[in-house]
Each structure stands twice: as structure tokens, then as C-alpha cells.
Amino acid sequence: MSHITGTVQILASPVKFGPDFGPASGPPNTWAVAFPYTPAPSGGTKLLMLHFVGASLSGNNRIEVDLGYGGEKDVFTSADGTEFWTRPINPYALVGGTVKVRYISNGAATGGVQIDRYGRGERHTKDPDNPTPLLDSYSNCDPFLDPAGWVEPDYAKLWFCNTPPNWENVDCVKPPGNIRNQVAPAVGMIVHADFNDVLGFVLSTCSVTLIAPDIVITAGHCLQDPIEDANSGSIIFGYQVNCNGSTPGGYSPKVHKVKEVIAQRFADGTSNDYCLLRLATPVVGITPVAMRNDLPSVGEQVFGIHHPNGAVKKISPIHPAFAAVNGSFASGIGVSLDVSGGSSGSGLFDSSGRIVGVLSAGGACSLSYFPTASIQQDMAAPPPVTRDVMLVFDRSGSMSLPGTSGQPKIHEAAAAASLFVQLVRANTGNRIGLVSFSTAASSPVDNALADVTAAHKAVLVGPSPYTSGIIGTLVASGATAMGQGLNAAYAQLSSGSNPRNILLLTDGLQNVPPMVNPLDASPAGIAISAIGYGTPASLDGDLLTAIANTHRAASGEHGHYVLADTNLKLQKFFALAFGNIFEAGLLMDPEFMLPAGQQAAAPLPFSVCEEEALTVVVGWDHRDTPLRIEVDTPADATIGAGSPGVESAAAPTWTFLRIALPQGGERDGTWNVRVFRPDASGAPRVADSIAVGAGRERDAHYFVNVIATGGAVLRRMPDTRIYYTGDVINPLVGLQYLKGGMPPGAKLTLSVLRPDASVGSLLSRERLGPARVIAADTIPPRQATLQAIEAKTGKPAVGYTAHQFPMFDDIVTTGSPEPAGVFGNKLDGLLTVEGQYSFHVRASYGDGCTTTRELLFTVHVSPGIDPGHSEVSRVELGNRPALRFVPRDRYGNDLGPGAGDRISVSPAIGTTLIGPIRDNGDGSYTVAVSWDADKTSAPGIVIGQPGRGAVVLSPAAGNGAGGGGSDGLPWRWLFWLVLLVAIVLLLIVLIVLTR
């Protein structure tokens, strides 16, 4: 938080005055206080803000505070409630170093108020929690301008593209008609009380722009707690100096109290970062700036106006120059300008003077402004109360194979999908449909998108125990036409006002056109959550990661990809998808084992603080180990399936309870989940028609999901990057209340399951086997070979190691200009082998009452080809010169055989490729070449990978251990030379022996 501009001083003994605290000190109806304050220890006091609590203002009683500018005073009445802050007070105008405050009775003989703290503007160094030298700063937020003269701050340089910064005081723009002079008066600064994890309560600033007589716009991350920040916030216009830094004649800033937050969005799993604030009184004499409703084009001229580090108003760049837009997307406008802490929320303006975005994030030479076009679209969209969801279900031949429970995978998947369907609330406006695919997508779709009702659910999954219906009778056979399935779902989601989602389940790889392009984000406005069932040997993790990351809902939210390698996780992730799509997410999701013969597990505690409802889900791995649940409230009342107002359902491998809160008057506190076998103690504790007593003879592996409705949401922040080995990954997540604002006291940790072996190197050693056909579904050679290895060894081809990391919300980690609900950790050295990395984020938050949220997602990482570790040599291919190359990453891991479609191969300068690339099945590839000796001493090839810079492999470059010379094929000459030497030695031996 590099724009801290003051402290909040808490009084040891509150100052109390009014009729309730003694006789009047002035006229009979006036209690006057000369409030003394402790001057700032260094640099002087720049402003003051008083905080009142316990205000009792019956009748027309009021409080008056002299502000020290323009004869203005703050007047508070009963309409202001019992707690409030004043606007900033000019300390240079105070007589005797005290603030004049009066309690005036008018209509009531009782009442009073207390001053318990005050904000003190002062020069301030950087937040000590941020160690980077580029954040070293010494602010000087001095909106009333010290009579001794204005002093420039020492600015935080983290966001400087130029040194000194390419900005100037607004007064330096002299032509009155210049567009900058037309816009500048509408730019102001908000000052408010904020909370810093290291320093406690402080004063903080951001930049704002007036867009209506009583409305300003800034960044959402500027207000961590919108309600409290608005309560203390004031907007200052006209805070500026002459071009040379001197004080303007007749200087008098305009100060307006913030009345309320109109809308605030940030850290909600989208790119949104904006806040609109309504002022208590309209601004007179300043023309509001119009918000542009479309994106600027790349190359368009723009400029910024802001208050860096709470300093006087600056224009970037120095006029008459403009900056050029270098990227323009709905998620952000890219531009290079010099700014600093406190510039957050400032406007980016086009050459017509319209605001096109507010400063959101970025670094030196790479700022990102959140577009006003996206802000207006987001505010116009209806609240996402209900959803449209299409289930896209893989019924290809590979789904006939046994799953981890021994049942065919399609039966396990149907059970998991039935859990999702039963969890969706009926008769609330939600809509669900189903399309399945094998060699082709079902046509017409299995179940068209329709309102969720009890009857509709029965069509999809049948009556209790929900094992029939359309989903329960799907049959596995045929190829994998994933593209057709998704296209059919897109068509179903082409209309309607609900937010649109797809939940994709697959266990394999697409092998029927049209093939899904992982980089194609169309159609717009649809989020895709993908569940891959199986081991990495059977899944296209690259594709599933990409389509989950690139497809976003109209609100900006995207789905997640998760790898489910067991039947238990498959059910868990369908419940997780329900929580992510329809609710606030997970409170917790642990896994346990109930030993054979044991009737009940130990109670599992969890905390509830502000949730509106709970959905407790339990799933287990085998049909013959049925389980049931009850929930105990903080006061030890028991809630079960038969409790009033509780929804419940049970199937052969899952059950859930949905509990509205408060329940029996109870909400906050520690609740407990009790999991037990249904015939425990011999009493029918839960109505149950599918209990199997023999289940007591088997260990029951199960999970518990507690899904929250209401409260805060934990979402992964947008990330469309394709990851390769050697990359640094920063898994950013946002934690925010659905209605805006960041939860207090948030602490986050991250667990990562990392592959322990390179699939490419494993396949190179094993050599590539043939493709495999299962019920007319073709498994490509690479996956078929991996599956054969797993069948031979009886275990997954790749194991996993667990790693734990803290998560941070500091500026350097997150790229956000202040800690504001976004957390991450720049993990260097984690991505060392290809494969599927599973991320599990756990958050706790609360002030007094602490609760939790959890989030899971999977990222596929591919080998990043490195020329220093790859091999290349010259060979012959069909009597033609050729190059044999072994692509490897920086850690020596092979790309491996069967992966030629994951790279592009093109000729280097002077080289011509003759014919296609041949896969040798051992991790090496061969391509015939010719080359122009006048242009190059040796042939070369260029290896490209999506989203990554190309690399050149050439024997002349000495790549890897296999680099050859430039004089033909030296290994052949070496062979004949060794043979000749051997013959000569043999002749010598024979001659010696015959003597």
C-alpha cells in the first residue's frame, strides 16, 4: 500500500460532550470543545479527520465542526446515524492548534457524542511489509498546501517507465482549449481511513474522476471494505499547484463527503476492478467527464491524470505528447505511462476527453486500465441469481472400461452427474440440459435446456435412488467427438438472460472432427468447467486446461479444469462444480476412511459466520458401503434428513443435506458433521431404502463437502497463459464478498500436487506402441502406451509429490497496486516436469468469527523445448540428408514420442524441409533436409510451441550431446576407420602367431 498518507490516532480516553455529559460550556444550548490533536512528529500535520461514535441526536440536535476553509463546516444530525467521520480539516487555519466542535441541542434536552479517534495526514514512508526498494517512498499528501511551500514527495518508483517520471503539474498545460485542461478539473482524490495488516488503521488515497454531478469512479481495489471506506471517505477536487510548484493565488480546494457505494467489483474471479461512489452533495462548477462505451483501438492516443502518492494533480505524459494504447481487451487496456501509488483508480482519457478506463494493475511500462466499456456492460447485466447449464457427457467406448470402484466408468460418471442434478435448486429460474457424445453428438440433444423442476430432474436421473433417467441409461461405445458435443451445447445456450455455463465430463481425447481449438474463446459469454476422469495417460490436459481458461461468462468469470483420478474425486468434483457455478463455493472438502466394522466417524467441525445456507455432501467409493449424515448445530441440536425445512437426497454412492440459515435461530459458531453407516445402533436414524448391511465389512473411503451459500467467494483470477516446464507460475486467487468488499483477516495457503516423473522420458525409454481400439474408440499410441505401462505395473505411470506454500497479497506478488483481496505466490522451480498440477487453495477469514473457503483447479504443463538440452545430428533418410532431433526441456525431460502434433517444425534460414516429420518412436524425430551452403554452414530447424518463443536446433549450434560437424556424416567415416584399424591389428596378430 504505497499510497499511505497518514495515521489514525486512537484516544486513550474518548472526548465526551453534550447534555448527557455535563452542563453547556457556551450558550445554554451549546457544548463547545476545542479538540486538541498531537501534531505529526515529522513534516507537520497535513489534514485532520475526526471520528464520532455513540452519537445521540434526538429532535433537531446537531453537531458542528469547523473545517477551516471557505467558511465551511460539517453538520451532523440524527440522519447520519451514531457513527461518522468529518471531511478533512485544514490544520493550517486552526487557531491555537485545536479543532472547534459544538454539540447544539434543539428540541431535546438529552444526548451526547464521543470523539474516539482522529485521522492525521502526515508524511509517510512505505508500507514496511513490502521490502522491494522500488516501493521506497515518502509521501506528502498536503491538499491544503503548507504556507511554507509545497514539497514534492519521494515517489514509489515501481511503476516508473522513465526516471525522472514523464509527468507534469496540470498547470503546465497553458492553452485553455487543450483537452487536458477540459478534463483536469474533474479529476480528484479520495482520502479515507483504511486498515493495513502491518500498521493498523491508516489514511490512504486513490485517484477518482467525476462522471456525473454527484458520482465519481475509481478502482474497486481502492476500497477494501466499501461500506466503512465510504463512511470515512471524502473527495478533494482542485488539489494542484502552479507549474513551478508554487501555491496558486486564492487556492481553495473543493471537498465533498462520500455518501454511499453505488457498485464495487474486484477480486471476484473476473477482471473487474471498479467502484462508483455517490457524493453527499453535487459538485458545482466542474463538468463531469463522459464514460466511453467502446474499447479504444490499438495505437489510439490517450493520456492520464492522477494524484501519485497523494501528491498534487499530475498529467502523464508531458504535453503535448500522448501515449499510445498497446493492447485493448474487455479485461484491460494496456498503455505505458508513469504513475505511482495513489494513482490507482485514475482515469485514462482519449483525445476527445472521454474516460476509457480506470488504473487497475500492471508494472513499469505495462499498466492496465479496466475499461469503462466493460464497467457499463457489467453494471447493466442482471445479477447472476440463476444459471443456465449444459451438461456435456462423454459416452465414448473408453467409458466402458472399469473405474476405480470396479463399476464401468460410465456408471460412475452417471452417479456423479446425478448428484449435480439433484443439488441444483428447483423452481428458482435455473435451467439445465444434457448432450452426450461418442462418434457423434446426440441429435437432437439428449435433453434440451429447460427449467429445473422435480419432474425435469426425474427425466434426467429418475426417481430415488437416481440411477435411471436419461443419464443413468447412457451406453458407452464409439469414438470421442468432443467438438460436436460442445457445439451442440453452444446452440442450446444461444438465448436467455441467465449466465451461461457448460460442465464437460470426459475420460479421453477428441478423435472426431470438428476438433476443439483450445485457443478459440468463441462463442463469447459461456464459461466452461471441465472434469477429466482418469489418469493423465488418458486425458488431454493441455486442451482441457485451455478451454476452461479461455472461455468466460459474460460477467468475466471462467470455469476450472480438475483432474479426477478416482471415482471418489469424480463425485467430489461434480459437487465442487455445483458450488462454483451456483453458490459461494466450498467451506471444506476433506477425505476420510471409515474402517470396516466401525459404525460412525468422529464428528467433523466447521465454522459458520455469515452464510445464508449450507449444503453438506458426502460421497463414497463403493455402492455396498452406504453412509448417511447428520449435522449438529453450535447448541447441539441435531439436523437430519427428516428435519423441518431441510432438503435431502440419497443415492448408492452419495447423500446430502441442504440447511437454510439461520436454523432454529442458530447461525454463527462451530457446527459438526457426523458420518455413519445407516444401520448404526439398529435404529432408523435416517429414512433409507438402499442401505446394505454388508457394507460394514468393507472400509468406506468418503469425502465431505460443505458448500456455502452467501458470504465470501474464493475464485481463481483470470489466467489464459499456456504453461511450460521452467516457467514461473503465480496462481492468483481473489477473495471477496459477493456484494463487494474484502473479508477481514484473510489468510491463505496453497497445496500443490506435482508430477514426479516425465511422461515424455518414460515413453522414450519404453518406445511407442500401437494405437488401441476400445468399443470403437481409438486411443492414440501415446496414451495407449501409457495405459499399457499402467496395466503392466498395476499403478499409475506417474505419481505425485505434495508441496505447501503460503500465499501473499503484497503489491510485488499480485501486481495489484495495493493489498485488496488478491493473493498469490510467484512459484519458481515448481514446474519441472510435464503433467497435470493440482492446486488446492485454503482461505480463512473473519473478525471474531472465523470461517473458511477452499478452491481446487488443475493446470497442465508441457515440456518447454530448450536448445541447450535437445539433441540434433545429421543422418540419412532414404538416401537424403536429414536431421535427427530429440526435443528436451531445460531439465533434460524428453518431449517424447507421439507428440509431433504438439510442436511446429519449420526450416531455419538457408534450410529446406523435404517431406514430413517422421516419429521414430523413441523420443527422436527425423526430417529430410537440404540447405544452401552460401547461407548457412549447416542445416537447422525452428521448433515452435503455442504461446512460447521459437527455438533453433542445428548441429552447427552444438545443441545437446548429439551435435555433429558440418562436413557431411562423420559417424560413417568413423565406422570405416575403426573397422580398418581392427583388420590391420588382426593381420599383425596372425603374422606374429605364425612365426
Q: What letter would DSSP give residue 769? A: -
Q: Is 985 helix (H, G, I), strand (E, B) or coil?
A: helix
Do 476 and 409 form a contact (C-beta atoms < 8 A)? yes
Q: How many other CB atoms are found less than 10 A from the CB of residue 451?
A: 14
Do 876 and 925 form a contact (C-beta atoms < 8 A)? no
Q: Is 727 helix (H, G, I), strand (E, B) or coil?
A: coil
pLDDT band at 995 (very low <50, low <70, confident <90, very high): low
pLDDT for 526-547, tens place per residue? Answer: 999 999 999 887 889 889 999 9
- Report percent pLDDT > 90 for the chain: 80
- Asked whether the predicted pLDDT for residue 739 surpasses 80, the reply is no
- What pLDDT score does 392 carry? 98
Determine the Cα–Cα distance for residues 592 and 36; give it in Å rounded to an integer. 61
pLDDT band at 738 (very low <50, low <70, confident <90, very high): confident
pLDDT band at 43 (very low <50, low <70, confident <90, very high): confident
Average pLDDT over residues 20-48: 93
- What pLDDT score does 228 carry? 87
- What pLDDT score does 935 carry? 87
- What pLDDT score does 29 carry? 94
Mean pLDDT, rounded, of the chain: 91
Place of cell 514420442: 897
- Asked whether the predicted pLDDT for residue 682 surpasses 60, the reply is no
Beta strands 187-196; 526-533: pairing state: unpaired
Average pLDDT over residues 587-604: 95
Cell of 621: 467409493
Average pLDDT over residues 148-152: 95
pLDDT band at 969 (very low <50, low <70, confident <90, very high): very low
Of the candidates 745, 747, 721, 722, the one whose C-alpha atom is nearest the C-alpha of residue 823 is 747
pLDDT band at 936 (very low <50, low <70, confident <90, very high): confident
Peptide bond into 131 cis (omega under 30): no
Determine the Cα–Cα distance for residues 238 and 256; give it in Å rounded to an integer. 12
pLDDT band at 982 (very low <50, low <70, confident <90, very high): low
Of the candidates 823, 739, 939, the one whose C-alpha atom is nearest the C-alpha of residue 261 is 739
The helix (run of H) or strand (run of E) holding residue 103 is strand 98-104
- Asked whether the predicted pLDDT for residue 195 surpasses 50, the reply is yes
- What pLDDT score does 987 carry? 63
Helix and strand counts by DSSP (H, E) for the chain: 13, 56
Q: Which residues pair with 932 in a beta bridge?
A: none
Q: How far is CA 896 from the centre of its chain?
A: 33
pLDDT for 220-272, tens place per residue? Answer: 999 988 888 899 999 999 999 999 999 999 999 999 999 999 999 998 888 99
**Structure-derived torsion over alpha carbons of residues 315, 370, 365, 190, reported in degrees to the nearest 10:** 40
- What pLDDT score does 980 carry? 62
The helix (run of H) or strand (run of E) holding residue 422 is helix 409-423
Output 125 or 93, whichever has higher pLDDT: 93
Tell me how far CA of residue 39 lies from CA of 13, 118, 410, 629, in angstroms: 18, 12, 73, 61
- What pLDDT score does 128 carry? 65
3 state SS for 585-644: EEEECCEEEECCCCCECCCEEEEECCCCEEEEEEEECCCCCCCEEEEECCCCCEECCCCC
φ, ψ of residue 147 to 5 degrees: the values are -55, -25
- What pLDDT score does 684 carry? 38
Q: How many other CB atoms are found less than 10 A from the CB of residue 655?
A: 27
Place of cell 468422529: 602
Determine the Cα–Cα distance for residues 255 and 49; give it in Å rounded to an integer. 12
Q: Could you tell me where the DSSP H helices lie in 160-307?
A: 179-183, 226-232
Provide the phi-psi class of 968: left if phi over 0, else alpha when psi is between -120 and 50, else beta.
left
- What pLDDT score does 961 carry? 42
pLDDT for 75-122, tens place per residue? Answer: 999 999 999 999 999 999 998 899 999 999 999 999 999 999 999 999
Output 762 or 744, whichever has higher pLDDT: 762
Q: Is the dihedral of CA 812, 816, 819, 821 positive or negative?
A: negative
pLDDT for 627-681, tens place per residue? Answer: 999 999 999 999 999 898 899 999 999 999 999 999 989 999 999 999 999 874 4
- What pLDDT score does 535 carry? 85
- What pLDDT score does 983 carry? 62
- What pLDDT score does 622 carry? 94
Output 295 or 126, whichever has higher pLDDT: 295
Q: What letter would DSSP give residue 310? A: G
pLDDT band at 27 (very low <50, low <70, confident <90, very high): confident
Q: Is 781 helix (H, G, I), strand (E, B) or coil?
A: helix
pLDDT band at 693 (very low <50, low <70, confident <90, very high): very low
- What pLDDT score does 984 carry? 61
- What pLDDT score does 972 carry? 43
Q: Which of 413-427, 612-626, 774-788, 890-904 has the lowest average pLDDT? A: 774-788
Average pLDDT over residues 202-221: 96
- What pLDDT score does 963 carry? 39
